[in-house]
Structure 1
Amino acid sequence: MQRSDGPRMSRWLGVCLGLLFVVGCGQPTTTGDSVEEASVDSPIVRTRPRARVAAGGEHSLSVRPNGTVWAVGSNAYGQLGNGSTTSSTVPVQVQGVTGATAVASGNDHSLAVMADGTVRAWGGNRFGQLGTGTTTASSTPVQVQGLTGAVAVVAGDEWSLALRFDGTVWAWGNNHYGQLGTGTTTASSTPVQVQGLSGITAVAAGTDHALAVKPDGTVWAWGNAYVSMFTSTTPVQVQGLTGAVDVAAGTLFSLVVRSDGTVWAWGYNADGGELGDATKSGRTTPAAVQGLTGVTAVAAGQDHALALRSDGTVWTWGNNDAGQRGDGTPARQLLPVAVQGMSGVSTVAAAPSHSLALRYDGTVWAWGANFAGQLGGV
């Protein structure tokens, strides 16, 4: 999730135009990996199901039933965690990680929550996003310093976020736009507590902004909000939104699932129609994504989005320049359409230009850009 200082990212996109649609024109394809979905039940907070798959800038991660983590795709910064910097088009095992329960992927770094509540990190570390107290990259997992009781992790553009069992949120890494939520723009190579948040039940990280859900169903945001030219270094409440149960953050847009199964979106909208409201106009306040009901989870890429419905189908909208929507067409889609051939899905994940789905049968399916092999052996 590499940031550029302009309104749209450059390196985080990572799409080589000469390689568009080489992967079945965006048709979902199995990665050959197999994982098992699980839910988390902590003493204080109950979060959404743990993320057993994760899509990074140019790599993908999955957790297998035995707690091992497997990675595929680009490895220039060691983000595959196998002790090398050689990319792989087939899944390789992350070294020394057993008992993992959840994963997250940034642009060039990776995270895993362990069963004991500690967090492991590997890959790029330019801004301290590995949480080790240094800015030295690591091609094998290292423990994030001073963090225990973690139940979920998410990753932004060279920064990381963790939700603890007590409902507090902790962040580390790049802080150019205040995305660490500490009231400053100073980067940190070790976890620092996000100010003013407690009892949090779900978190999401975009390129340079973050979202959190409180038990009362309100949503709080901090970091960069380009569409309104507004930046906050501490969490502020998203206005006009209640009943939230799940959140996702893209490059410059945000998504929320409400308890009634509807999806609401706000932010940038000009590139792909990522707000799903039949327009290409950005907005600073949430509005419903049209035609979606029964949604249980969402995922956000650079300028496309995914929604998982309770019937196990996946719906998508926004840009499709690399086939990341998975509906078999190259055109921009301003309203949700079904991802072809996807049913029985339990989890979805989105990267800048590729997407992942975990099915209840334990198989992982991928579609979109594949120039670094991030689709896993297609």
Structure 2
Amino acid sequence: MRARFIRRRQLAVVVVGALIALPSVFGTPSMAASTKSSAGQPTSQAEAWGTNAVGQLGIGTLGETATWPTAVTVAAPHTVRSVSAGFSHGLALLSNGTVKAWGSNEYGQLGDGTETSRPIPGSVAGLSDVKAVAAGGDFSVALLHDGTLRAWGFNFSGELGDGTTANRSLPVRVEGLPGRVTAIAAGANFVLALLANGTVVAWGDNFDGQLGQGQADSQPHPVPLAVRLPQRPTSIGAGAFHSLAVLADGSVRGWGLNVSGQLGIGDRVSPQPSPVAVVGLTGVRVKSVDGGFGHTLALLTNGRVKAWGSNEAGQLGDGTNTRQLVPVDVLGLSGVTAVSAGEDGSAASGHSLAITRGNVMAWGQNNRGQLGIGGSGSVNRAQAVTTGLQPTRSISGGLAFSLAS
């Protein structure tokens, strides 16, 4: 999967520096991933751990071999509300409604009007009254309190939603939104938005059907497209190349890439360009979801966590290293308030994060210290991360690094 992703980027005559800097290692969205931010009340600081090849930990230093296997303090103002991690950059939403960014800036993803990377957080230009932020692969998105969106950075597939495919080093307005936005999620090269009217829209890359339009294609989609769901969604999540929505009845729908079983539908048929139901969630209700490259996490309303998909590094936290095509229980967790799925360069690897009773737990791939538990050994059960945050309210897993606030 990593080679496939790099080939797709090379078609755009670009190279993902963060991937080259990580030997044998992504992205969510949210991945996250991720993938990938959890909003909360202001906290005293932000912390980070994992790879720091291009300054993505925001501590003022960098280096291709630099790793921090335990938490260090991000050099940001001590008023951080939430954090979000991309491929190799980080975002922090401050309590005054402004945004700080740091790390790689090859495509303008730091939003300061330049393409100069920096290991110290700097202000995103022209942004205020921000409600939430999401770091995509090499781009960034901000939701304002008025329900509009701003985006900046890499735009080859129309990730910025401004009707063009030109990279932007300053925030631009996302155009064509059919209503007020209440939540956002960013994948490697696409964006999801949940509207106040109950609509989910998507834009950017659709190579794996992650826009939910009933077919996959290789064309850029620089304006929002409506995703058809069977009932009103309550939350959304994004993996590197797959999308997720929690419906009002607590069930989950997913669409996009499924080669690792990350859609939780009992098979690996891929792509899945239309929303399909995650199976095996009978008797439980899901509150929120997040995806990595090849795995997905679901936070239940009872404070427990389910996971499915790739598990070679133990990222499902079920005590095994066996891929699971349907949801399984993440062991040893209760009272969870947030989850985030990190990515580590291939569909086989990935790491996972959770906040339980104000503390951070982590499991999965750890070759770059991305679990924050010390050392470099991967684990298939949740382990406690020692931080100076009391309590932790926001977590985000990036490409072999993690952020918390």
Specify if TM > 0.5: yes
2:261 is aligned to: 273
Could you tell me how far 1:65 is from its partner in structure 2?
6.4
2:369 is aligned to: 373
1:232 is aligned to: 221
1:317·1:336 contact (CA, 8 Å) conserved in 2? yes
- Separation (CA, whole Å) in 2 of partners of 1:196 and 1:268: 26
Change (3 A) 1:238 1:63: closer
1:119 is aligned to: 99
Could you tell me how far 1:12 is from its partner in structure 2?
9.1
- Separation (CA, whole Å) in 2 of partners of 1:56 and 1:300: 6
Change (3 A) 1:239 1:310: same
1:152·1:162 contact (CA, 8 Å) conserved in 2? yes
1:201 partner SS: strand
Could you tell me how far 1:13 is from its partner in structure 2?
12
2:136 is aligned to: 156
1:70 is aligned to: 47
Change (3 A) 1:14 1:369: farther
2:49·2:70 contact (CA, 8 Å) conserved in 1? yes
- The answer to whether residue 161 in structure 2 is matched with residue 165 in structure 1 is no
Alignment of 1:26-175 (within 5 A): 66-85=43-62, 86-175=66-155
1:80 partner SS: coil
- The answer to whether residue 339 in structure 2 is matched with residue 348 in structure 1 is yes
2:316·2:352 contact (CA, 8 Å) conserved in 1? yes
Change (3 A) 1:65 1:216: closer
1:204·1:211 contact (CA, 8 Å) conserved in 2? yes
2:32·2:186 contact (CA, 8 Å) conserved in 1? no
Q: How many residues align?
A: 338
1:199·1:214 contact (CA, 8 Å) conserved in 2? yes
- The answer to whether residue 355 in structure 2 is matched with residue 358 in structure 1 is yes
Q: Deviations over 1:291-324 (max 9, x none)?
A: 2231000010001000000111100000012211
1:117 partner SS: coil
- Separation (CA, whole Å) in 2 of partners of 1:180 and 1:332: 34
1:11 partner SS: helix
Change (3 A) 1:241 1:193: farther
Change (3 A) 1:259 1:62: closer
Change (3 A) 1:306 1:191: same
Change (3 A) 1:61 1:246: closer
- Separation (CA, whole Å) in 2 of partners of 1:291 and 1:223: 30
Could you tell me how far 1:240 is from its partner in structure 2?
3.4
- The answer to whether residue 244 in structure 2 is matched with residue 247 in structure 1 is no
Change (3 A) 1:90 1:63: farther
2:180 is aligned to: 199
2:121 counterpart letter in structure 1: P
Alignment of 1:288-327 (within 5 A): 288-292=277-281, 293-327=284-318
- Separation (CA, whole Å) in 2 of partners of 1:96 and 1:209: 27
Could you tell me how far 1:56 is from its partner in structure 2?
7.1
Change (3 A) 1:220 1:14: farther
Change (3 A) 1:205 1:167: same
- Separation (CA, whole Å) in 2 of partners of 1:286 and 1:350: 20
- Separation (CA, whole Å) in 2 of partners of 1:299 and 1:367: 15
1:55·1:61 contact (CA, 8 Å) conserved in 2? no
- The answer to whether residue 189 in structure 2 is matched with residue 208 in structure 1 is yes
- Separation (CA, whole Å) in 2 of partners of 1:300 and 1:132: 28
- Separation (CA, whole Å) in 2 of partners of 1:133 and 1:368: 36
1:104 counterpart letter in structure 2: S
2:185·2:238 contact (CA, 8 Å) conserved in 1? yes
- The answer to whether residue 1 in structure 2 is matched with residue 5 in structure 1 is no
Could you tell me how far 1:259 is from its partner in structure 2?
1.5
Change (3 A) 1:64 1:87: farther
- Separation (CA, whole Å) in 2 of partners of 1:371 and 1:162: 31
> Which 5+ residue runs of structure 2 have no aligned equivalent?
11-15, 209-215, 344-349, 375-405
- Separation (CA, whole Å) in 1 of partners of 2:164 and 2:313: 37
Change (3 A) 1:63 1:287: closer
* Shift >3 Å, 4+ stretches: 5-10, 12-17, 53-57, 60-66
Tell me the C-alpha RMSD between the 2 structures: 2.6
